[in-house]
Amino acid sequence: MTAATDTLLNALETCDMLEIDGLHAFDFSLDEDDQLHIECMDGRAAKRWVFSMAQVQAAVFDSTLQSWTITGDSGEHRLVCLSAFSGANDEDDEREDA
């Protein structure tokens, strides 16, 4: 995070992927009830977390670990907001048009 005023909610809006408790979660969203839903696979087991907006707003950024500490109904969790790189496949499109 570049500014001390950043919030977890702002960080979630700009990240592509989350790491929660060391697990990579590609599926996360805020629903119409303002709840943060996170889902990932741990081996063959699906893991799911749900956090209320109040819990998201109360999350604390740890600048040393570059991660957020959020406390949910199941205890304390560490979130890392990550940005993914994607490769454009424009080259293949150009060849098809030729």
Residue 21: per-residue pLDDT: 94
Residue 4: per-residue pLDDT: 47
- The domain spans of the chain are 8-97
Instruction: Tell me which DSSP letter residue 34 carries.
Output: S
- The backbone torsions φ and ψ at residue 33, rounded to the nearest 5 degrees and listed phi first, read -90, 10
Instruction: Output the CA angle 38-22-67, nearest 5 degrees.
Output: 80
- The backbone torsions φ and ψ at residue 58, rounded to the nearest 5 degrees and listed phi first, read -85, -5
CATH class of 8-97: mainly beta
25: tokens are: 């979660």
- The predicted model scores a pTM of 0.77
Residue 75: per-residue pLDDT: 94
Residue 2: per-residue pLDDT: 45
97 or 43, higher pLDDT:
43
Residue 55, beta-bridge partner list: none
Per-residue pLDDT tens over the stretch 25-72: 978 998 888 899 999 988 899 999 999 999 999 999 999 999 999 999
